[in-house]
Amino acid sequence: MAQLLQDQLLDMGAKPLPQDLARSNVTVAAARAAAGWQSNKRVLPLVSEFKHVVHVSGTFDASFVQSLHVGSKLAAEWTVPATSTATPCYVASVPSGSKVLRILTKPGESAEDANSRAGHSKPACPCLQPPSEDSHPAEKCAYGMCQQSRPFGDDEFRTFLDMLPMKQQKRGRGDTDDYSNQFLCGAYAHGPMIGCKNLTREMPWCAAVLCRHVRERAPGFPFSAVGFLFNVKAKAHRDLHNEPEPGTKNLVMATHACSGGGLWLEDAGGRVAVDVGQGCRVGKNHTLAVGRPFTFEPRKWHATQLWRGDRGIVVAYTPAGVTRLGDADSAFLQGLGFPLRCMPSQPTAPEGSTGTGGSADAHKGSLSFGVYHAPQEFVAKALSEQHPCHLESLLPAELVQAIRVNHSKSAAVLGQERTETLRKWVERASELSADEEQLKNSFSPHRQKILHSKRLLLMKEMLDSVGHEDEDLVSDLSTGFDLTGPLPRSHVFRDKYRPAAMAEETLRKSARIVRGQVLGAVKSSGDEVVDQGVLAATEKELAKGFVEGPVPESSIPPDGTITHRFGVVQGQTDEGPKIRPIDNYLSSLVNAVVSQSEQDSFFVIFCPKLRKHVIYKQRVMPFGAKVLGIKIDTSEARLGMFKMENTLKRVNELVQSLDAVLASGKLSHSECEKLRGRLQFASGQLFGRRAKVALHQLSRHHGGRLGESSLEACRFLRDMISSNKSRVLSRQLGNTVHVYVDASFSDEGRTCGIGGMAYDKEGTLLQ
């Protein structure tokens, strides 16, 4: 229901919340920077990225405004012109190196977002029929966007791009990896053949949105093909199959903020040399800012620069021979909004322009800059802050107090206090024995069997005596917890709201069908050891009274669900592999409903003895906790430190798994998720943080053949796991050291370096 409500709001024009800061628009980025948020980070920083933010309103030189890009830095100090006013009022100039946060200008007009210069657009494509019910979600989204008269926002447009059915197409002039895709529509030219791409007719509303976005950002720019490229790297090439007519250009426009990812363009006055396969050519590197178009001659050599993060661009161009398009194709493309020919009243943008029309000598509006701290100022501010991951910050206040008491009192005093406390509660347990028995007599038979040894009333008094926030814990333990639906709030842990994805009525209506599908899917895992392990674990729960059964299928209510229980191998014991039973509540849809009752307490296993499925009724959720696969070395405890590392057995298992993946070069999505979970736990016991980067790359793999980046991540993880370098925990972790690092790259991206400085908690530079 919650998802349906969200979809309805989006259909009505509501804007979705950005999933990360990279998706927020420039105005939001500037506001966060002014409030102390780092505009290019996901979390609140200890020290604001900027010393202060400068807002300048008024009239500016056009050439200066056109040289700016959101996210870039001022190359030289800029004096606030007399025709403008600055906030704070005492600012007369913006120092070099300041970051451009926002550009809200328009030639000769009042302030308006520079990224929406095209003004208000009319709803497009009156000749097209609305998409059908079974149309692709992106097509439905595009139809709704085309009904709006306002320009598309950056967040809104990115949401649409995320929905596009991307295709992996290997292009001779570019590279793609396992996470690079493209969506191209409009006209095409292949030798003597000219026509309209099939995708354009299959998804016309998506093509219309892409066309309109380019027209809004670059009015008057003619093109007959448009597309979206995601993480596509183009080597140095020339677009020789594009229209050779003078004045016809290519357009590129960034949609996602990433580090790098600009465009190298051949230029006789440039200083950056690139090997184009026919020798070296010189050119210049150009930054691509989100929402600001960049145009260039297609027959000049150009290439993609290296980047970090996700790089998305919209491209618009004119294939050669488009003037020979048939009348039907031309009319269809023009109906979608393709400006097939240059309109005299709207001249095309000059090469390299990131503006969108007009050649006024002055721009009106406002500019915002982030002025950085001087290095000494930043260090001084940072020294006054406590590290967010300081050991004391990570512990609950009660535990911190207990540690301090144990540290400050002698062993004799502590022993006496503990003895008195134990004596007090032993006596109280004896006094409450009759009341405990009376309470348990009121329970149902299966709860009596499970809770007979639990001193619930004593536990209640002990929790009350220390002021525990969860006042209903003992009551919840007595009555049991629902498998689904809203969990009772503990008032101890931080709230995290996650709404249900399905109403209970929906589950009940589909229960018979889902139950049949689950029973039909239950079969042997193919491993006799796993099947026997699941049966043994179930029989162990049966002996403890945790489950009942086997029960006949007829005992399940008509609207009841059934959950598939399967097994996974989790380590080795002296008797053989250790099998852990897993109850798949996703398959029965129980995880998605709002409330819970007894009709959802059935599960089914494959019985290797009977060679068929067997149904049980669950009375309690089994739970156990154990530190698995970790070796704790306390040999140097006298020195105030101990070491944690993975056991040799775990290391060998992971290395063997990674060797198998590297040998085959393939990894399914499900196996990738399992392997990543095991690697994530194991890497947590190792020194260093580089494993996190490799795991992030592995998490982007969606099945099939591994790309070179994913293979490199597997090789790195294999080497790191096999080295098994211990993680050291010591009392020295209480000392804070401030480390500042930075990297440098050459223009060609072939040479890089990294350096850093470290300060102790007193501000002394460590040598």
Looking at the structure, do residues 113 and 149 belong to the same domain, yes or no?
no
Which position has the higher pLDDT, 5 or 143? 143
Question: pLDDT tens-digit profile of 64-73?
Answer: 887 888 888 8
**More confident position, 353 or 745:** 745
pLDDT over 90 for what percent of the chain? 12
Q: Are residues 251 and 343 in the same domain?
A: yes
| pLDDT confidence band for 599 (50 / 70 / 90) | very low
* pLDDT value, residue 228: 94
8 Å CB contact between 488 and 482: no
Asked whether residue 229 is domain-assigned, the answer is yes
Confidence grade of residue 33 (pLDDT, cut at 50, 70, 90): low
Do the domain assignments include residue 702?
yes
Is residue 752 in some structural domain? no
Among residues 592, 618, 644, which one ends one of the domains? 618
Per-residue confidence (pLDDT) for residue 659, from 0 to 100:
92
Same domain, residue pair 683 and 613: no
The answer to whether residue 474 is domain-embedded is no
pLDDT at 220: 79
Residue 601 is part of a domain; what is its CATH number? 3.10.10.10
Task: Pick the more confident residue, 687 or 767.
Answer: 767
Query: How sure is the predictor about 453, in pLDDT bands with cuts at 50, 70 and 90?
Result: confident
Same domain, 708 and 594: no
Confidence of residue 12 (pLDDT cuts 50, 70, 90): low
Through-space distance between the first and last CA atoms of the chain, rounded to whole angstroms: 60
| Residues 369/97, Cβ–Cβ less than 8 Å | no
CB burial of 470-492 (b: ≥16 within 10 Å; e: otherwise) equals eeebbeeebebebbbeeeeeeee
Q: Which of 69-73, 94-98, 296-300, 626-630 has the lowest mean pLDDT?
A: 626-630
One domain, residues 593 and 711: no
Structure tokens at 568: 């996974």
pTM (2 d.p.)? 0.38
Question: What is the pLDDT, as a whole number, of residue 22?
Answer: 45
Instruction: Name the band, by pLDDT with cuts 50, 70 and 90, for residue 539.
Output: confident
144 and 292 housed in the same domain: yes
The reply to whether 610 and 715 lie within a common domain is no
Residue 61 lies in a domain: yes
pLDDT in tens, 346-360: 334 445 544 443 344
Answer yes or no: do 312 and 168 share one domain: yes
Half-sphere exposure of residue 227: CA atoms within 13 angstroms, side-chain side: 23
Q: Which residue has the higher pLDDT, 471 or 535?
A: 535
Instruction: Report which of residues 259 and 495 the model is more confident about.
Output: 259
Q: Are residues 611 and 641 in the same domain?
A: no
How many domains does the chain contain in total?
4
**What is the CA angle 696-169-339, rounded to 5?**
110
The DSSP output letter for 191 is T
**655 and 611 housed in the same domain:** no
The predicted structure's pLDDT at residue 271: 86
Tens-place pLDDT, residues 114-159 = 334 433 444 456 667 888 877 888 888 888 888 887 888 888 898 8
Least confident residue range of 53-62, 526-535, 544-553? 544-553
User: The domain that contains 218 carries what CATH number?
Assistant: 2.60.120.10
Identify the domain boundary among 618, 645, 667. 618
At 500 the pLDDT is 55
Boundary-marking domain end, from 311, 329, 356: 356
Q: Residue 475 belongs to what H/E stretch?
A: helix 473-479
Query: Which residues does residue 237 pair with via DSSP β-bridges, in sequence order?
Result: 302
Closest listed residue to residue 49, CA positions, set 68, 29, 74:
29
Q: Are 151 and 268 contained in the same domain?
A: yes
Poorest-pLDDT segment among 33-47, 473-487, 590-604, 708-722: 590-604
Q: Is residue 263 domain-shared with residue 306, that is, in the same domain? A: yes
* Residue 131 located in a structural domain: no
* Average pLDDT score, the chain: 77
Give the model's confidence band at 663: pLDDT under 50 very low, under 70 low, under 90 confident, else very high. Answer: very high
pLDDT of residue 555 exceeding 70: yes
Q: Answer whether the bond into residue 18 is a cis peptide, omega within 30°.
A: no
Q: Is 178 part of a structural domain of the chain? A: yes
Nearest to 313 by CA among 258, 254, 249: 254
Structural domain range at position 58: 16-117+366-372
Q: Within a domain: residue 379?
A: no
pLDDT of residue 649: 82
* Exposed / middle / buried, residue 734 (Cβ in 10 Å: 0-12, 13-18, 19+): exposed
Choose the weakest-confidence range: 379-393, 537-551, 614-628, 654-668. Answer: 614-628
